Structure 1
Amino acid sequence: MERFPWVEVFRGLAILEVVLHHLLGRFLREVPPETPLWLLLAALNRTLHFAVPAFLFLTALVIGASFWRSFSLGRYLRNRALRLLWPYLLWSGVYLAFRYWDYGVFQPERIPHQLLWGKAYFHLYFLAVALQLTLILPLFLPMVRGRVHGGWFLLLGLGGTLLIYLLNRHYRFLPYPGSFVLWYLPAIALGLYLASRLELLPRLLRLWPLALGLALLGLGLYLPLALEALQKRPVNTMHYQLAHWLYTTAMAFLLLALAHRLAQTRWRPLLAFLGRYSLQIYLLHPMVVRLLEKNPTFPEPLGLKPAFLIYLVLVLGLPLLLAHLLARVRASLLLFGR
């Protein structure tokens, strides 16, 4: 962390994106559909839809950077089991119980399926994908240490993703493509490429105007299709995915460039604090949103803007408070693996 002060800043920015994305989705249900306000909220919601590729990009970059040190597969797997597998299993159980309390639904025969694809609750699929990424990243150690030509990383990102897309289009072997790690190969390949050229990172980050142009191009292609899909209208899935991959991969790079810059400013302590507790916020915030949603007398009657602000303060504040208290009583490792 001392060597890479931008890591926690990146996580802080990304977790803010996650929370805002989910809150915008929540308030879409409060607005009459297809009105100008609904379209504005929907556009913001779809624009803030790059957190999973961004977090996977960062994971590939940070773990790829660790490949330059002595690498022990056993130590690596033990570390990832503590930091990912245990919290995933524990909080899947917590959310299965919460779902039963909330909706009265519990299907024990579906638990293996839910754990495999991260479907114990809607947001847990990211941890399932992160676990899959943990298993495949050591396979790329020779690519990173060998500093292979960037064309191979490009082939991995574009060719591998298109291959998975076409195979799934014809054979339908993925019930949930978004819960499969190879669906995010462009962002992962970019993270591994940067890890293989770590000493050049400051120079490579100067390419942010190019990334911004690609992100705007991707967003221009992706957003109209995303809004159509949100309104349950048919879209060309290949066009949608290509645009989404371009947009989210470029945004991951831009987020890194921004984090690298903000890590040298007075914003670093605040964003790094959010980043340090990003997993706790990620795991707990859907429960806070749902508990607020179950009380229709507050805060929605105050109006859209005050209600949104109250949600934002509580959705960030309550998980942070709980995370701080659990760290004080030394229970954080047991509940969150860190």
Structure 2
Amino acid sequence: MHPITPTASRMTWMDTYRGLAIFLVVLFHAAGNFKSATGRESVPFLDPITMFFDPYRMPLLLILSGLLLHRGLAKPLGAYLGGKFRKILWPLVLWSSVQLIISARYDDFFSPVEWVDGTYQWFLVVLMVCFIVAPLNRWIPALALSVAFILILIMVKDEVPEAARIFFYGSFFFIGAALGPWVPRIQALPVWAPILLGLIGITIGVGSATELVVVTRALPWTVLYPLPGLVALLWLGPRLPTFPPLDQIGRNSIIYYTVHTAVLLVASQVWGATGWPDTKIRFTVLFIIALAVPAFLTHHRQQCNLLFEFPARRQHTTAPLATGVTARRS
């Protein structure tokens, strides 16, 4: 077979994958909200789809974040951490608070466990921990950090179950960081290699959909199951055609991720208060609203950016005037 050449830039395909993963997260949460509100244990037309992608949704997001770690670590440590506090910790605290208020869980404001593992914003908790640990990558290989996370998971999962999710999913972040330098080689593989890896990945997905395979923090070694499929996706990425709707979601993933759960909670409460029937229409409406509200906020991001990013301190520099007097500019 002749090699297939890349057609898209690295950032474009990463945005596409990030958008696809967020889309699947919204689908998964909308289905879960629908089942919770209607008392159903399953939704036959949805569950096979969400379960097929279950091994890949969150690992893909974390792999993508890890691939770009080198860019952050190239900055001074203060600037690096400051950016993470402004762009991850701030929306984590803000939107976790929103969820607790909407759910009337006021006592949980004083429970550290709820902040770590009790809201839909747990992905940001994992990211924040990974980015705090990540400067160690200047001295310790990323793959070693991933293995360390799994070893910690094995040691503490019974005593600190709330931390299990962090160490399990955090390992994917550092796998992504380890794969970063290898991406050009992965994308140059002959086509038979990613086809083989992709078939393994599809088999894992089918196993998940039929409940024969489970990728879970309770079984630390299952972190290996999604890796063949994820590597195949890295090969495929730059060969994908552009898909602007997914690219837009991917570029603004923080908005879609933080907002959609609050929207689902409020919309579900409103639906229940009206007494409207709990049919498939309910799921469809909630799913559309959960995407539409973040899309609206994305369109008006300039006006509402404080909801997703804490403002940076203005940097003041000096510049000479024609008279030789220095003036302060922002």
The interval holding the TM-score normalised by the smaller chain is 0.7 to 0.9
Distance across 1 between alignment mates of 2:279 and 2:57 = 28
Matches within 5 A, 1:1-338: 4-29=11-36, 38-39=43-44, 41-49=46-54, 50-64=56-70, 67=73, 70-100=74-104, 105-107=105-107, 110-115=110-115, 117-119=116-118, 122-142=119-139, 153=143, 157=146, 159-160=147-148, 162-168=150-156, 172-180=158-166, 182-184=167-169, 186-203=171-188, 207-219=193-205, 221-225=207-211, 237-238=218-219, 241-243=220-222, 245-262=223-240, 265-267=241-243, 269-294=244-269, 295-296=271-272, 301=277, 303-304=279-280, 306-327=281-302, 329=303, 331-332=304-305, 334-337=306-309
- Aligned-residue sequence identity (percent) comes to 23
Query: Which amino acid is 2:16 matched to?
Result: V
Farther off after superposition, 14-23 or 196-205: 196-205
Give the 3 Å change call, closer, same or farther, for CA 42–270 of structure 1 in structure 2. closer
* Partner-residue secondary structure (3-state), 1:337: coil
Give the 3 Å change call, closer, same or farther, for CA 205–322 of structure 1 in structure 2. farther
Contact kept? 2:67, 2:176, Cα under 8 Å: yes
* Partner-residue secondary structure (3-state), 1:314: helix
C-alpha deviation, 1:298, in angstroms: 7.1
Distance across 2 between alignment mates of 1:21 and 1:72 = 38
Query: Which amino acid is 1:61 matched to?
Result: L
* Partner-residue secondary structure (3-state), 2:161: coil
C-alpha deviation, 1:186, in angstroms: 4.7
* Partner-residue secondary structure (3-state), 2:120: helix
Query: Which amino acid is 2:127 matched to?
Result: A
Give the 3 Å change call, closer, same or farther, for CA 46–270 of structure 1 in structure 2. same
Report the TM-score, using the length of structure 2 for normalisation.
0.76
C-alpha deviation, 1:296, in angstroms: 3.2
C-alpha deviation, 1:39, in angstroms: 4.9
* Partner-residue secondary structure (3-state), 1:4: helix
C-alpha deviation, 1:124, in angstroms: 1.0
- Structure 2 residue runs of 5 or longer lacking an equivalent are 1-8, 311-330
Give the 3 Å change call, closer, same or farther, for CA 135–210 of structure 1 in structure 2. farther
What is the number of residues matched between the two proteins?
300
C-alpha deviation, 1:77, in angstroms: 0.8
Distance across 2 between alignment mates of 1:257 and 1:31 = 41
Query: Which amino acid is 1:8 matched to?
Result: D
Distance across 2 between alignment mates of 1:257 and 1:298 = 49
Distance across 2 between alignment mates of 1:97 and 1:32 = 23
Q: Looking at CA atoms only, which structure, 1 or 2, has the larger radius of gyration?
A: 2
C-alpha deviation, 1:313, in angstroms: 1.9
Distance across 2 between alignment mates of 1:127 and 1:236 = 17
Report the TM-score, using the length of structure 1 for normalisation.
0.74
Distance across 2 between alignment mates of 1:195 and 1:226 = 31
